[in-house]
Amino acid sequence: MREPYCVKHLKIHIMQGSRSRVDLRSFDPSIGMDRGASKFKEICWYLVKMVFFLSAFPFPSAFKAALLRLFGAKVNRYLVIKPRVNIHFPWKLSIGEAVWLGEEVCILNFEPISIGNNVCISQRAFICGGNHNYKISTMEYKNGPVILKDGCWIGAGCFIGPGITIGVDTVVCAGAVVSHTLDDNGIYKGNPAVFVKERWNP
């Protein structure tokens, strides 16, 4: 019986050995990132997050805002935070007044993330302050802060990368991937996100 092609190909690959220069075994998580809190505080936050933030139960927004403040977040009035919002480090988060965080928003703030006033972040948007340096074999962290200025709207399913600023009143349409800073008062869509038109006419 002949050996399937995929099995034969896999055996050849194993015999030849991998030619990859990537060495994830040597990755050091302490390089390139200051976690900003003790391990104990981080563990306590994860327990609180699992119960009150990642749950589908609609705990009151004011209660969750108080918990964020307890763990070092700067949170202003009128925050609306829906269920299953994943905030990595609240002590590296600043939220302005009258902000909406939709269901399953993920805020990966290895570096500070600042959200201005009257900002809407819709369902399953990913605000990502974390990255890796692919030019180094050990894939060290290459993180960056994210700034969402007043009045911007991040549509459902968007990805906002590290080191990005979203301008005042700018709209990022659903599903867009943002890899560079966006100007004020624009509407952007696509992957990568490109300018479509102004939001408000002069």
pLDDT digits (tens, 9 = 90+) for 76-93: 999 999 999 999 999 999
49 DSSP assignment: I
Under 8 Å between Cβ of 80 and 59: no
Span 59-76, pLDDT tens digits: 999 999 999 999 999 999
User: Residue 175, Cα to own-chain centre: how many angstroms?
Assistant: 14
Span 164-201, pLDDT tens digits: 999 999 999 999 999 999 999 999 999 999 999 999 98
Residue 40: give its domain's CATH number.
2.160.10.10
Domain assignment present for residue 7? The answer is no
Domain assignment present for residue 67? The answer is yes
Domain assignment present for residue 13? The answer is no
Domain assignment present for residue 164? The answer is yes
SS3 (DSSP) at 90: helix
Long-range contacts of 182-191 (CB under 8 A, 24+ apart): 184/149
Q: Which domain holds residue 185?
A: 21-198
Between residues 166 and 10, the one the model is more confident about: 166
DSSP string, 117-160: TT-EE-TT-EEE---B-TTSTT--B----EEE-TT-EE-TT-EE
**How confident is the model at residue 12, as a pLDDT?**
46
Number of domains in the chain: 1
